[in-house]
Amino acid sequence: MPVGDREGMTNHPFRFGVVGWQAPGAAAWTGLARRAESLGYATFLVPDTLATQAPFTAVAVAATATTTLRVGTYVLSAPNRTPAAVAWETATLQTLTDGRFELGLGAGRPDAERDAATLGVVFGTPSRRIERLSDTIDATKDVRILVAASGTRLLRLAGQKADTVALGVPPQTTEEQVAAKVDELYELAGDRFPALELNMNLACAGPEPPDWALARFGRTGTGVLTGTAAEMADTLLRRRDRLGVSYVTVNAQFMDDFAPVVERLAGT
């Protein structure tokens, strides 16, 4: 069914998250998490790369400094760990965060194979990685699960098993291209589609993107959101009506610039 035929059908309230990458020490890291909480963000998320902090440890420390902020991975490379290891870490974090942990999973971003080699684990074929991801979801059913997906096989898996689907598209992706992904997910998820929370990440957000962001991402893709708070909020409202995207995450570098949008839309 074309996206236009589904306009207005989503009833998911807006949620907003911050993706934190690195900090020089505990005070800076916990301060970043507390700042996200004070600005009204719902989640504080950590990627899974060897160039950033170890995600399970980092989210645990962030959780100790906050009270209502949910913490999670965005996203864990499932091929780099056994399902049992992820289930163990997840169960511990669910207990020690009083249920504030959300597990974000993926089949491995482009650089994840290099990380796997460094860690001494077998990355595997695309089919084996998707199988590992599916097994990991099955092993961690007692936690809210986000699955990052772009291709058909991952969209199908996410549609069948995830609570949240992160549309894994580059920042330069146009809204029409995102609409095509949502159409595909709609067909693959079937009756589960209305229950799915859809997520997109903003690589850059604020009144005016910095020069480095313009050079890297351009200005017209869905991963770059600019304008006044009212203009950015209107864009997100329109995207929710058209695409069903209600969960928006943003690079921590821009969380203060984006905070007025969070204040306007969170929970609505």
Give me the pLDDT at residue 5, please.
53
* Residue 218 vs residue 2, higher pLDDT: 218
Measured CA to CA, the distance from residue 174 to residue 221 in angstroms comes to 5
- pLDDT tens figures, 18-60: 999 889 999 999 999 999 999 999 999 999 999 999 999 999 9
What contacts 100, CB < 8 A, 6 or more positions away?
63, 68, 69, 70, 71
User: Which residues are bridge partners to 17 per DSSP?
Assistant: 43, 249
Provide DSSP, 75-131: -EEGGGS-HHHHHHHHHHHHHHTTS-EEEEEES--TTHHHHHHHHT-----HHHHHH
Q: Note the pTM of the prediction, 2 decimals.
A: 0.94
Distance of CA 163 to the CA centre of its chain: 12
Domain extents in the chain: 3-265
Q: Report the CATH architecture of 3-265.
A: Alpha-Beta Barrel (3.20)
- The predicted model gives 241-266 an average pLDDT of 97
- pLDDT tens figures, 206-227: 998 888 888 898 888 999 999 9
